[in-house]
Amino acid sequence: MRRVRPIAVMVAAGVLAVACGSATSTGGGGGTSNNGKVGGKLLIDNESGSTWTCQFNPFNPSVNITSIGFVYEPLEFVNILQTNPDGTPKVTPWLATGSSWSNAFTTLTMTIRSGVKWSDGSPFTANDVLYTFNALKADPALDLNALWAVDSGPLTSVALQGSDQVVFTFNAPAQSYFYYVADQTPIVPQHIWGSLDQSKLDTYADTSPVGTGPYLMSNCSQDNIKYLRNTSYWKSKPGHPVPQVAEVDYPAFLSNTSANLYLAQGQAQWGAQYIPNIQSYYISKSPSTRHYWFPPTLNVSLFPNLTNPLLGNLAVRQAIAMAIDRSQVSQRGESGYEPAANQTGIVLPTYKAWYDKSLDTLTYNPSKAEQTLQAAGFTKGSNGVYANAQGQQLSFTIKSISGYTDWDASLQVITQELKAVGIQVTVEDEDSTPYTNDTQGGNFQLAYGEMPVAGPGPYYELRPMLFSGSIGSTNYERYRSASTDALFNQYSGASPTQQLDIIHQISAVMAQDLPVIPVTEGVDWYQYDTTSFGGWPTPSNPYAQPPVWATPDNGVVLTQLYPVS
Partner 1 sequence: MRYVTRRVGLFVITLWAALTVNFIIPRVMPGNEATAVLATFRDVNPAALHALQIEFGVNVHQNLIVTYLQYIANCFTGQFGLTAQRVPVLTEIAGKLPWTLALVGITTIIAFAIGTLVGVVSAWRRGGRLDGILPPMLFIVATFPVFFVGLLLLYVFAVTLNWLPLSSNYSIGATPSLSLSFLGDVLTHALLPGLSLVIVTAGLWIYSMRNNMITTLAEDYVKMGRAKGLPSWRIMTDYAARNAILPNLTGFAMQLGYVLGGSILVEYTFSYPGLGYLFYTSTTDHDLPLMQALFLVYTLAVLVCVLVADLVTAGLDPRTRDA
> What's the CA gap between 379 and 389, in Å, rounded?
8
**Which positions ≥6 away from 161 have C-beta within 8 Å?**
109, 167
Q: Which of residues 372 and 545 has its CB atom nearest to partner 1 in the complex? A: 545
Min dist CB 59 to partner 1, Å, is 8
Classified as helix, coil or strand, 133 is helix
> What's the CA gap between 103 and 105, in Å, rounded?
6
Strand partners, 298: 522
Q: Which of residues 356 and 438 has its CB atom nearest to partner 1 in the complex? A: 438
Min dist CB 246 to partner 1, Å, is 16
Min dist CB 202 to partner 1, Å, is 5
Q: Which of residues 215 and 253 has its CB atom nearest to partner 1 in the complex? A: 253
Cis upstream peptide for 243 (omega within 30°): yes
Residue 132's Cα: distance from chain center in Å? Answer: 24
C-beta neighbour count of 565 within 10 angstroms: 8
373 φ, ψ (degrees, to nearest 5): -65, -45
Min dist CB 537 to partner 1, Å, is 17
Min dist CB 434 to partner 1, Å, is 4
Q: Which of residues 28 and 276 has its CB atom nearest to partner 1 in the complex? A: 276
Min dist CB 437 to partner 1, Å, is 4
Q: Which of residues 97 and 402 has its CB atom nearest to partner 1 in the complex? A: 402
C-beta neighbour count of 419 within 10 angstroms: 14
Min dist CB 2 to partner 1, Å, is 6
Strand partners, 42: 248
> What's the CA gap between 110 and 95, in Å, rounded?
10
Q: Which residues of 291-306 are buried (b: 16+ CB within 10 A; e: fewer)?
A: bbbbbbbbbbbbbbbb
Q: Which of residues 123 and 434 has its CB atom nearest to partner 1 in the complex? A: 434
- Binding residues for partner 1, rule: CB under 8 A, are 1-3, 9, 11-12, 14, 49-51, 53, 55, 57, 60-63, 65, 140-146, 151-153, 180, 184, 202-203, 205, 221-224, 249, 251, 253-255, 257-258, 261-262, 267, 431-438, 440, 451-453, 464, 470, 473-474, 549-551
- Type of residue numbered 43: L
Q: Which of residues 185 and 559 has its CB atom nearest to partner 1 in the complex? A: 185
**Which positions ≥6 away from 117 have C-beta within 8 Å?**
123, 124, 212, 232, 234
Q: Which of residues 116 and 451 has its CB atom nearest to partner 1 in the complex? A: 451
Q: For residues 38 and 522, is the Cβ–Cβ distance under 8 A?
A: no
Min dist CB 4 to partner 1, Å, is 8
| Best CA proximity match to 217, nearest among 242, 238, 247 | 247
